[in-house]
Structure 1
């Protein structure tokens, strides 16, 4: 029983849709039995079944919508045939309310999710199916009234779909703004690191010039230092290429944070030391990490703790775990006290702050996951590689040092 209730909570949308279909299908069955005509029940089963197929993984919405609308129009045309009319008592009533509900859901879905031109075409086709069905399936004296109510239902579904489309558009725009801001912040941090490396290259080159005049035997050592500094600079530069392109606005500078500051962050979040348990590898705060990794690890912890304060104020335990394992920095923040609500796909990143963190982590070739991991428990985890990408080989026209 508990497992069933948990499944219902996780699939509230599906359960609500099935319940609505069931209610109207009962009305269709009553109409079919009283009129001795089975088409309302048939239509109320077939068209909703087609619409429900969209919930299967990998199924595209457009073919489902086309199939549902086409089937409804075909049934309306079939009902109007004299041969079919002769099979039912006169006057016949073949309108299916479950079918009309399924078509209204199609209108909402295509207007919300499909490309605009496709959505408008499918919405117009659904209008034909919804408005024409009462004209072809109901007795002449009631066809006009049912057509008017059907048109109002289509208009309401179209309005809901457009409102949801606008909400989704604004949310995507807000997420894009957050990602852009996060890219700029990461680019500024990495720019500082690259500037440091370039300064080291200049100093090493100047030193190599002096060494070449005074101690020629030590030139190789000086050139090796320049090569190492250049390799580090190229690796950091590659990490920031994607985030710097097209970004020319100047923003406020946020000081870079290091892992040693996580303890201070936790202390500010939990002054009484009753809520948060911090676990790290010994000496991790002094570890030398690649450009941006330490700052990103700190920011992941910061965002996760902020979300705990905002979305789980009843949390009794918050576990912050930071370790280095198999060449990667692993950051995990786990808390209880999360209200049990229908969740999206596991590993998804839903909030604006977490979307920005996902952008920052991805720029470092890492992975970020956020979602429920147990009943009432939420976990944010990040995997950040410590090995810098291999720098590109020099062009063939530029010989390497020592090449003949």
Structure 2
């Protein structure tokens, strides 16, 4: 839908530029002088609208066609080319190649655009240092297209690098969580299996009890791993498009399928949180519930609270009443280091540790960037 609206907007802008330019030429030049410029503007606009299939070929064709239009207009005494509609279409073509094309192709298209600017400047026959308006528009249009394309290319590269780093961190985090869980339970199963082998040789009458213990431990390990995997499962784009409170509610619902009941406190309406803030709120709650499922399955009640204050701050609080033993705010395997890095990267603060009396508390404060 967004792409379709963009294309419709470009088409409307090209047609508007063609109509206004044709009207201006018809008023000042008279006759049919406007026809050639209008035809060229529509042709270049059509090429720009078809750019997505082969952007480099479209940009090359547009530049060659514009170059020919400049020469024809100069020899036939017609208004200078390319006009505003053609400049807009060519700027879109050049900007797209500069943004998405290979470096060699982007450089070649940029060189072609620079050549066209020089040709238009020479064809405008400047007198007394005055440059034709069309030449100036071409220079500014292509300069803006190249600059915009480079800026978007840099933004795309930065975003891809960030996404790759985040994905790598998520994979490492998932590996740590599963390792912590699997190593604990599987070690116990191995030891019990070794004991069963000894019992089979020395006291076979006790073997059934030992096998029952192995079965019980295996079931417990399977349930624990299912809880962790269920919480760490990343719903990707489906989650990112949902408001932060709904993301938290979905996490809690998954947690309650295998864990204790959760007392959930969410704001009825929130401001337009930036994506990185909403994502961090989601991760803080996710990591905290994962830790509870993994290290405090005997907790009887969990509290999850998300609130927003009047100063543009988001407060996240996750508490449980399970024993704090075995959990450490300094141990990276529980994801607390990752949570802290996420929160502090946005200028927020995070505290994690035992509560007064019993249980564990994770509290984070995040600025949303608006007042």
TM-score (norm 1): 0.50
Residues 221 and 92 of structure 1: CA distance in aligned 2, closer, same or farther (over 3 Å): same
Counterpart in the other structure of 2:366: none
The total of aligned residue pairs comes to 261
Counterpart in the other structure of 1:73: 67
CA deviations 1:27-78 (Å, max 9, x no partner) are: 33135533533221111000111111136xxx24333223322322233344
Which of the residues 48, 53, 61 maps onto 1:51? 48
CA–CA distance in structure 2, aligned partners of residues 228 and 172 of structure 1: 46
CA–CA distance in structure 2, aligned partners of residues 182 and 32 of structure 1: 60
Counterpart in the other structure of 1:266: none
Deviation at 1:16, TM superposition (A): 3.5
CA–CA distance in structure 1, aligned partners of residues 153 and 119 of structure 2: 26
CA–CA distance in structure 2, aligned partners of residues 21 and 305 of structure 1: 33
Deviation at 1:201, TM superposition (A): 4.1
- Which runs of no fewer than 5 residues in structure 1 stay unpaired? 1-6, 237-286, 313-317, 325-334, 341-349, 361-404
CA contact (8 A) 2:196 2:207 kept: yes
Residues 299 and 155 of structure 1: CA distance in aligned 2, closer, same or farther (over 3 Å): closer
Counterpart in the other structure of 2:135: 147
Residues 192 and 79 of structure 1: CA distance in aligned 2, closer, same or farther (over 3 Å): same
- Which runs of no fewer than 5 residues in structure 2 stay unpaired? 256-266, 287-371
Please give the root-mean-square deviation of Cα atoms over the aligned residues, in Å: 4.9
CA–CA distance in structure 2, aligned partners of residues 41 and 148 of structure 1: 20
Residues 29 and 338 of structure 1: CA distance in aligned 2, closer, same or farther (over 3 Å): farther
**Taking CA–CA contacts closer than 8 Å with sequence separation of 6 or more, which of the two structures ends up with the larger relative contact order?**
1
Counterpart in the other structure of 1:117: 104
CA contact (8 A) 1:208 1:223 kept: yes
Deviation at 1:219, TM superposition (A): 8.7
CA–CA distance in structure 2, aligned partners of residues 305 and 11 of structure 1: 20
Which of the residues 52, 61, 86 maps onto 2:55? 61
1:21 paired to 2:14: yes
CA deviations 1:89-108 (Å, max 9, x no partner) are: x4654442200111112222
CA deviations 1:100-136 (Å, max 9, x no partner) are: 1111122222222223232222122122234424544
Residues 60 and 207 of structure 1: CA distance in aligned 2, closer, same or farther (over 3 Å): farther
Matches for 1:181-192 after TM superposition, within 5 Å:
181-192=169-180
Residues 97 and 306 of structure 1: CA distance in aligned 2, closer, same or farther (over 3 Å): closer
